[in-house]
Amino acid sequence: MAFDIAGVPGFAYGGDYSAEQWPEEVWADDVRLMKAAGVNLVTVGVFAWAMLETAPGRYEFGWLDRLMDQLAAHGVAVDLATATASPPPWFSHANPDSLPVEADGNRLWYGSRQTFCPSSPAYRSAAGALVEELANRYAGHPALAMWHVNNEYGCHVARCWCDTSAAAFRSWLVRKYTTLDALNTAWGTAFWSQRYTAWDQVIPPRRTPSFPNPTQLLDFYRFSSDELLACFRAERDAIRRHSTGIPITTNFLLDRWGVDFWSWAGEVDLVSMDHYLLGESEDPYAGLAFVADLARSLAGGRPWALMEHATSAVNWQPRNLAKPPGQLRRDSLGHVARGADAVLYFQWRASRAGAEKWHSGMVPHAGTETKVWREVVGLGADLAGLSEVAGSEVVVDAAILLDWASIWAQAHPSQPSVDLDPVRITEQWHAALRAATVTCDFAPPGGDLARYRLILVPALHLVSDADAANLVSYVDGGGTVLIGPYSGVVDEHDHIRLNGYGVWSDLLGVRVEEFFPLPDGRRVALSDGTSGRVWTELATAKTADVLVTYADGPLAGAPALTRRGTAYYLTTHLDDAALRVLLERIARAAGVEPVLCDPPRWVEAVKRRHADGREWTFVANDGEVPVDVLGTVLNPGALTISTGFAARSDSA
Amino acid sequence: MAFDIAGVPGFAYGGDYSAEQWPEEVWADDVRLMKAAGVNLVTVGVFAWAMLETAPGRYEFGWLDRLMDQLAAHGVAVDLATATASPPPWFSHANPDSLPVEADGNRLWYGSRQTFCPSSPAYRSAAGALVEELANRYAGHPALAMWHVNNEYGCHVARCWCDTSAAAFRSWLVRKYTTLDALNTAWGTAFWSQRYTAWDQVIPPRRTPSFPNPTQLLDFYRFSSDELLACFRAERDAIRRHSTGIPITTNFLLDRWGVDFWSWAGEVDLVSMDHYLLGESEDPYAGLAFVADLARSLAGGRPWALMEHATSAVNWQPRNLAKPPGQLRRDSLGHVARGADAVLYFQWRASRAGAEKWHSGMVPHAGTETKVWREVVGLGADLAGLSEVAGSEVVVDAAILLDWASIWAQAHPSQPSVDLDPVRITEQWHAALRAATVTCDFAPPGGDLARYRLILVPALHLVSDADAANLVSYVDGGGTVLIGPYSGVVDEHDHIRLNGYGVWSDLLGVRVEEFFPLPDGRRVALSDGTSGRVWTELATAKTADVLVTYADGPLAGAPALTRRGTAYYLTTHLDDAALRVLLERIARAAGVEPVLCDPPRWVEAVKRRHADGREWTFVANDGEVPVDVLGTVLNPGALTISTGFAARSDSA
Amino acid sequence: MAFDIAGVPGFAYGGDYSAEQWPEEVWADDVRLMKAAGVNLVTVGVFAWAMLETAPGRYEFGWLDRLMDQLAAHGVAVDLATATASPPPWFSHANPDSLPVEADGNRLWYGSRQTFCPSSPAYRSAAGALVEELANRYAGHPALAMWHVNNEYGCHVARCWCDTSAAAFRSWLVRKYTTLDALNTAWGTAFWSQRYTAWDQVIPPRRTPSFPNPTQLLDFYRFSSDELLACFRAERDAIRRHSTGIPITTNFLLDRWGVDFWSWAGEVDLVSMDHYLLGESEDPYAGLAFVADLARSLAGGRPWALMEHATSAVNWQPRNLAKPPGQLRRDSLGHVARGADAVLYFQWRASRAGAEKWHSGMVPHAGTETKVWREVVGLGADLAGLSEVAGSEVVVDAAILLDWASIWAQAHPSQPSVDLDPVRITEQWHAALRAATVTCDFAPPGGDLARYRLILVPALHLVSDADAANLVSYVDGGGTVLIGPYSGVVDEHDHIRLNGYGVWSDLLGVRVEEFFPLPDGRRVALSDGTSGRVWTELATAKTADVLVTYADGPLAGAPALTRRGTAYYLTTHLDDAALRVLLERIARAAGVEPVLCDPPRWVEAVKRRHADGREWTFVANDGEVPVDVLGTVLNPGALTISTGFAARSDSA
């Protein structure tokens, strides 16, 4: 799979074009402005089902024909959506069973979007018919450059607890376990008298008086991800029956955690994703870097498409902060730095009405005499100037192991500590590497790790024996690993590994005896002067060197950080600064070099490189004071791109 | 419509008399105590349906006959309730479909009160039959002085999402839009694929996976207010078929915001309302003044009735604070100051049992050897002494524009900032005027504004073109206006006005380009040394003078306060103190004079005046230290009334 | 009823043995380890229904036969559970109406535990049949030492609002009130038009628009407790039909408040209860002491069984803190000090899977080379060494009145102050006595009080006339009482006592006129230099001495603490330190002597004594520094037991 949006050279630039919201006389103006801004790709039809099919089987493609023709005529390529993300009222009204049901048994109604049960046969059938029509009609259209299936799967309805879903869940379980005995063993139903004696007794984890069965919950999360994936596959396959050579994608929403994107990544022709800055977070760009690195990892290191982001405010945060001057460029090029070769916004023209009318657009409500429009035009020019960068890959030597099933296992409401959030911890480790200007991938536990010099395992609670062995092989082959606490503790059925919690005991040379989560906000002193937070463990070093111990509390003297060869283990969690120091030390020992030596706080630096050696270093200053980087002064909010710079020759 | 409670001269004084809760032998004692306290009006029967109709069509009026006769015999007039506010168990049990349903689909059961769907035909029919019987029987009773329809419409159930309500909603929409095309346009259903193709697809905004359609929500709020109003009208009209010359009212609950009282005000013969101090709020009297001014405004400036308040604690606040000595008088006369000519409590005798048994009464649980009873008797004497004041009007030169639909539009869960609460902002502006002893009305955006010297528009987000033009005419006619940010931005369908958000751009001489809500708790410095909070805007002065600019942040240098002739615009919100200074300055410029010049903090002053020039100034000290006002010392908690005082001759 | 676990001498020691979760080959190892630890009693089968009955009427007792035989062979006695606490999936699937329904109308599903409506005929019938089979089969088994009915009744589902429960509620009400008139009077249905005219109109207090009827709510709570008790009785009686001489218990969960354990205590042969330390609370042992004293009180002062506690962390707290070294012993012996003669854990072997897999066990996940196992063995040895203590009683001279119905009445959502939580207040008073090393019982308001020198009434809001008179008789007989505010204010129907709120007015010589709850966090100064919190009252001393008055606020000068003979009354609540001083003073005056004179902070001391005079004093140091007690130094976390010590000869 290569990054190839049919007919779009260099960077793709544009956004969602909801033309159906505007009178056709506006379209001409739209095309004129698109050309002025350098837009070469627009997404069409994402929420147009009700306009394309006005009654069962009654299709109205006239307006779309005219729109596609007009865009083709002006050289704007189209990412054509299948329009299935929001079933029309006539559909939901005729098929009330297709509406999703929550765990408490209450149905969700139409009136917003994504109002479908992923397992609904009526929905799948109606969606499939529409896609078939679209693919057949537009497969050969000159404007067509990409297919866009559905939209943000799982954004609002990642799971459904209705009876239809229950039946589909049982089918999925039959396929997985074959026998009820196997299910009973996997789910540990000997506990709390939960043994199933017939398949039809098995239900989704609906609201129940106490903690649900953890493996039932975990399997239901897996099932739900697979059901949405089946929806995607059905649409993709329908397209492929009519359309060849045009890449098919769906826009991943990576900062929700309802869908296992490792299993999705191989199913799309091209990875695309949506990302919105969290304006009020302390460091919005940390979130950007996280999902951009994840998108690249899902794309196997190759370029990917930023399908949606915002030119300024969004509409769904508590306070939707507008972007100050320059932030639009910083945001967009931050994605480019991490491998995006397409930069698209939601949406082209800000809506006048509807639930997202306060979401910014490329053409704002106030028109083109605006800060936003000027910056949109400026970014178009920037991207045109950078076209040589397109197709290059990001330079990476380290990876963080990440697994959705493991995250889901820890979402069970009966865990040792509510503070031990695997996503937050993974984000913290990623941010610490970023602060050190060490760019990293994410990798699945069973993936090919050999191409990395350093693997971090911040929070891989659940891991199968095979995947655990994969990591051991990696270290045996010379790799370096740092494992965080509470990792490898349960197998793929969420069963605890007995006799020391240690799938990696031998690798690490450490036996863990008992977990000692810390009270809310409490710290524990460590022997190196730093402190542990959230979590501690009563462990014994068997064949490992103890590098740091606890200096107070009930575990005083017990190991906090150990090392056996190139395998490190932390039994606690560190503050950001201490974590960064530790990761820098281990990275250096592993031969991983940062983009910048000793970078100042709030500076981000990432490198892209072509196979032929041409490379670009993207450096941004996200702080509030100017910084001196690579001999030049970088102002707050600024992002600069250097060509051919060699970080290694830099003096500290 | 004149304020005229049949047969009650001067001030009406009394309370809800739930005689059905007590043995009839208590009634004689009640009447004796009423006379002792100067009570001349009691409300009877508010929650007596179950006692008046014990099975469908089986009426038992004997006890009410005896009660009315006894009251008439002793000269206590009766405000007779229609008793429809709480359907009896036999009714709800026989008509389960009459029970309201919430947005999540769950039904609410009987066992408290107001357990009816406003659109229920069964409820309307049963209520109508009861009212017909009551009106027929008591129309000519000598005790009858007023009709009291239902009770606090919308207090608990302002909206219902059941299928009956859905059908009624569709009928309302057909009446409003005539065609589905018009509805689709108004609701902006081109967004998110929500186009309706048949009327029966349209439903109330039930729980849905993402943000509901904003105009659907807004129209549902409008519909719901109208449905309750239809309930009121049906009862009123039934009464009128039998009873003439007796005013009909219903007690408005003005600090909920579920019902559009502008549309209700013209339907009652006499405006009455309930108000309860929020004991733990920083300034409970600010809330009192707000709703009292609103009640007077709904009454067109004429006297109104305080139908319910409390002699001491209520039962429904987290901590139900008792009133310290003197507060009963301060509270009640505070309403009189702002135009109340009737002062009634909930309730005459505190209940022994039931959900409100901890609500205070005029006769407390502990009997008449109590602080409360002594103050109840004292207030009766006060009111008798003030009888000359009754019928006078409050002196007002300024008004605040207020609109329920605009408030509802901002209640949509997808707005630029959760901090921009239009009610809180309106309260802040009202409180700032009150602190300056400038009494103000509230006015509907389309109302007659010519009688005011100053109009404030703190938070009128939604306004129709016609209503916007009404304000322009007002300024053209010499009026002064101050408009707050985010005002006039959407039309009556909640569609955004394009090209600068400005229905008042020309009036103000300002073009707004983009909204910059502030992060949580953040301030921005202004050029005059004050600071902005919650909200800022990127605006340009076209034909306006810039009076204040932003002094830091991304909008540094942009206008914060502008003036074009007598039209002022604020692009941010101010602290209380700065807002008071600004409003005082503009009021002075507009020729609006305060009751007191330079009043001390925590002093309230309001003036009532007869057409013949007799006037009274009510001055209260709500602070914790004595203050010197008008040459006399006013102790904390005290309220004094001066006759014939001329504020204008006062030296500062 | 004597404490007598058949065939177990001295202390019983052990835990829940969920053998069905492990392969049978593990059992031999289990028995070996049990002997090593001194375990002599295990609970078997609590959650084994699905393993014992695999389809309706198909029983599989083979595995249980083998298990019981093996335990008998090694001298480990069995507390055999009836296994009815968690119906199997086949049952719930076949009987969906047996699933509980919440107040909002939503059903709770199976998939966790306790998934049954207490009134379900299907559940009761299936449970009864299983119990009959078990009792018949194992009545004469040599391992059998005790019967364990169900498990933690009411832990998750104390109440059900389904139609079946509604019918059962009506039957219960018919039995209680006989006539609807009586119910209408008791419930005060003259308020809010709630009069019932037919029994079938009466329903549980389901979700309703405003505050539910308080007496309906109170009766529903009483009914729900009785329904669960009926479940218990049915199982107990089924056992008794087959098994004689073996005590029958069920494990009470005393820190939930859903079930009225006074009414349960007389129904069990032996009181047992579960207790788990709240690791993050400021003083976890205060909670332990509270429920241990309550368990002993329910047992009539005789020894009781600690059926469950934890060797280290539990799994259901936000942060499940592991026990530092020594805390296991402190926790367990803390129960022994207060009368426990059986010390059992949940559970023997920590689970590998299921919702409670992170709950610690006697045999931890990490095996026997662990802190936990070493301490488990150590405690077994401790208990063996203390066997002489078994059967002795705790020395007690004071009691606190406690009543579930009173607590429930205050749970109505319309009370004067949310801060006035009767459980928190009772805990505070208990903790103050404990800090003074005065051990106390809890007593029901109508119980035999003559054996105590001091009665405390911290928060008895609801009390019947008869129970109120019981307290008066106690004082008339020479007893001392301290009553807290808001006590005795309502009768058993939650009707307010008029004319001064005073069922104890004459006893106390005080008339209360009005309640003045304090604003959030506010204090009021008292004349003795301390301060009142949460609550104040406007009261008048009629025949009482005023010991302390309010020193500021609206009630300045009014009584805060009064005394009439040996009857004291507080009109406010005190800080912990002031409360302790007051209770020490009154206790001393009443002739109640503490175990230690002037004990240091964080020291607990309790005395057990045999009828023949042998006695043991348990002293623990729960602080963070060593303390000097009885001439010896006690380290933090330590608990020591002195024999034959005479506290009374101690110098202060």
Task: Name the residue facing A214 among C55, C320, C355 (closest C-beta).
Answer: C355
* Same domain assignment for residues C576 and C613: no
Cis peptide before A70 (omega within 30 of 0): no
Instruction: Give the mutation candidate from B256, B314, B317, B320 for the C interface (greatest C CB count, under 10 A).
Output: B320
Helices and strands (DSSP H and E) totals, chain A: 17, 29
Residue A652: band (very low, low, confident or very high) from pLDDT cuts 50, 70, 90: very low
B14 with B344: CB under 8 angstroms? yes
* β-sheet with A615-621: strand ranges across: A393-394, A603-609, A615-621, A639-643
* Same domain assignment for residues B420 and B498: yes
The C-alpha angle A430, A433, A436, rounded to 5 degrees, equals 150
Quick one: tokens of C440?
């106390």
Contacts of A155 in chain B (CB under 8 A): 210
* Same domain assignment for residues A421 and A565: yes
First to last CA, chain B: 40
pLDDT tens-digit readout, A4-29: 787 788 999 999 999 999 999 999 99
Residue A630: band (very low, low, confident or very high) from pLDDT cuts 50, 70, 90: confident
d(CA B98, CA B117): 5
What pLDDT, on a 0 to 100 scale, did the predictor assign at position B328?
A: 98
Residue A625 lies in a domain: yes
* Same domain assignment for residues C466 and C414: yes
Q: What are the Cα distances from residue A385, in Å, to A38, A380, A382, A390, C231?
A: 11, 9, 5, 11, 79
CATH number reported for the structural domain that contains residue C528 in this entry: 3.40.50.880
What's the full length of chain C, in residues? 652
pLDDT tens-digit readout, B531-590: 999 999 999 999 999 999 999 999 999 999 999 999 999 999 999 999 999 999 999 999
Answer yes or no: is pLDDT of C7 > 80. Answer: no
Residue C70 lies in a domain: yes
Instruction: Give the mutation candidate from A162, A185, A210 for the C interface (greatest C CB count, under 10 A).
Output: A210
The residue annotated as part of the active site, out of C53, C152, C427, C537, is: C152
- Per-residue burial over B240-279, b = 16 or more CB atoms within 10 Å of its CB, e = otherwise: eebbeebbbbbbbbbbebbbbbbebbeebbbbbbbbbbeb
Residue C3: band (very low, low, confident or very high) from pLDDT cuts 50, 70, 90: low
What pLDDT, on a 0 to 100 scale, did the predictor assign at position C501?
A: 82
Cis peptide before C70 (omega within 30 of 0): no
Full domain range(s) for residue A616: 603-642
d(CA B77, CA C105): 45
pLDDT tens-digit readout, A284-313: 999 999 999 999 999 999 999 999 999 999
What is the tally of structural domains in chain B?
3
Residue B287: band (very low, low, confident or very high) from pLDDT cuts 50, 70, 90: very high
Strand partners, A640: A619
The C-alpha angle B240, B241, B245, rounded to 5 degrees, equals 40
- Among A345, A148, A292, A316, smallest CA distance to A604 is for A292
- Backbone phi, then psi, for A480, in 5-degree steps? -110, 140
Answer yes or no: is pLDDT of C4 > 80. Answer: no
Given A246, A269, A292, the domain boundary residue is A269
Q: Within 10 A of B330 (CB to CB), how many other CB atoms are there? A: 21
B203·A109 Cβ contact <8 A: yes
Residue B326 lies in a domain: no
pLDDT tens-digit readout, C396-455: 999 999 999 999 999 999 999 999 999 999 999 999 999 999 999 999 999 999 999 999
d(CA B587, CA B481): 10
Quick one: tokens of C410?
């205050």
The C-alpha angle A546, A551, A556, rounded to 5 degrees, equals 80
DSSP characters for B484-520? -TT-S-B-TTSPBPTTTS-TTHHHHTEEEEEEEEPPT
pLDDT tens-digit readout, A65-103: 999 999 999 999 999 999 999 999 999 999 999 999 999
Instruction: Give the mutation candidate from B20, B27, B321 for the C interface (greatest C CB count, under 10 A).
Output: B321
What's the full length of chain B, in residues? 652
- Mean pLDDT computed over every residue of chain B: 96
C370·A193 Cβ contact <8 A: no
* Same domain assignment for residues C405 and C531: yes
Give mean pLDDT, residues C469-484.
Answer: 98
- Rg, chain B, Cα only: 26
CATH number reported for the structural domain that contains residue C50 in this entry: 3.20.20.80
Percent of all residues in chain A with a pLDDT value above 70, rounded to a whole number = 98
| Nearest 10 degrees: Cα torsion B6, B10, B14, B19 | -30
* Same domain assignment for residues C550 and C629: no
Q: Whose structure tokens read 């069922």?
A: C503
pLDDT tens-digit readout, B456-514: 999 999 999 999 999 999 999 999 999 999 999 999 999 999 988 889 999 999 999 99
What pLDDT, on a 0 to 100 scale, did the predictor assign at position A649?
A: 37
Residue A293 lies in a domain: no
Given A234, A269, A304, the domain boundary residue is A269
* Same domain assignment for residues A511 and A630: no
Answer yes or no: is pLDDT of C225 > 90. Answer: yes
Per the annotation, binding residues of B for Zn(2+) are: 117, 160, 162
Strand partners, C639: C620
* Same domain assignment for residues A425 and A498: yes
What pLDDT, on a 0 to 100 scale, did the predictor assign at position A579?
A: 98
DSSP characters for A181-243? HHHHHHHTTTGGG---SSGGG-------SSPPPHHHHHHHHHHHHHHHHHHHHHHHHHHHTT-
What pLDDT, on a 0 to 100 scale, did the predictor assign at position B3?
A: 56
Residue C335 lies in a domain: no
| Nearest 10 degrees: Cα torsion B328, B329, B334, B338 | 120
Task: Name the residue facing C209 among B54, B100, B321 (closest C-beta).
Answer: B100
A605 with A621: CB under 8 angstroms? no
* Same domain assignment for residues C549 and C609: no
Partner A contacted by C50 (CB < 8 A): yes
* Same domain assignment for residues B554 and B627: no
A441 with A411: CB under 8 angstroms? no
Residue A442: band (very low, low, confident or very high) from pLDDT cuts 50, 70, 90: very high
Per the annotation, binding residues of B for substrate are: 113, 151, 316
DSSP characters for C273-286? EE----TTSS-HHH
Given C269, C294, C313, the domain boundary residue is C269
pLDDT tens-digit readout, C563-573: 999 999 999 99
* Same domain assignment for residues C60 and C191: yes
Give mean pLDDT, residues C239-266.
Answer: 97
DSSP characters for B259-306? S-HHHHHTTSSS-EEE----TTSS-HHHHHHHHHHHHHHHTTTS-EEE
Known binder of ligand: residue C113?
A: yes
pLDDT tens-digit readout, B414-465: 999 999 999 999 999 999 999 999 999 999 999 999 999 999 999 999 999 9
What pLDDT, on a 0 to 100 scale, did the predictor assign at position A3?
A: 55
Residue C644: band (very low, low, confident or very high) from pLDDT cuts 50, 70, 90: confident
The C-alpha angle A470, A473, A474, rounded to 5 degrees, equals 90
- Per-residue burial over C423-433, b = 16 or more CB atoms within 10 Å of its CB, e = otherwise: bebbbbbbbbb
Answer yes or no: is pLDDT of B232 > 50. Answer: yes
| Catalytic annotation present for C308 | yes
Residue B369 lies in a domain: no
Contacting partners of chain A (3+ CB pairs under 8 A):
B, C
Answer yes or no: is pLDDT of B649 > 90. Answer: no
In one-letter notation, the amino acid at residue B384 is A
d(CA A618, CA A615): 10
Q: What are the Cα distances from residue C85, in Å, to B296, C71, C251, C298?
A: 62, 23, 11, 23
Answer yes or no: is pLDDT of B115 > 80. Answer: yes
d(CA C1, CA C510): 42
Q: Distance, in angstroms, between C85 CA and closest chain A CA?
A: 9
Residue A520 lies in a domain: yes
pLDDT tens-digit readout, A518-528: 999 999 999 99
A149 with A77: CB under 8 angstroms? no
- Backbone phi, then psi, for B640, in 5-degree steps? -125, 155
Residue B494 lies in a domain: yes
Quick one: tokens of C330?
């402190």
d(CA B624, CA A585): 63
Give mean pLDDT, residues B240-253.
Answer: 97
* Same domain assignment for residues A577 and A545: yes
Q: What is the pTM of this model?
A: 0.97
Answer yes or no: is pLDDT of B182 > 70. Answer: yes
What pLDDT, on a 0 to 100 scale, did the predictor assign at position B2?
A: 43
Answer yes or no: is pLDDT of A610 > 70. Answer: yes
| Nearest 10 degrees: Cα torsion C623, C626, C629, C632 | 150
Contacts of C517 in chain B (CB under 8 A): 313, 319-322
Give mean pLDDT, residues B217-227.
Answer: 98
A89·B195 Cβ contact <8 A: yes
B194 → chain A, closest CA residue: A88
CA atoms within 13 Å, Cβ hemisphere of C192: 23
Residue C344: band (very low, low, confident or very high) from pLDDT cuts 50, 70, 90: very high
pLDDT tens-digit readout, C196-206: 999 999 999 99
d(CA A254, CA B458): 41
Contacts of A367 in chain B (CB under 8 A): 498-500
User: B-contacting residues of C 332-391, CB under 8 Å?
Assistant: none
First to last CA, chain C: 40
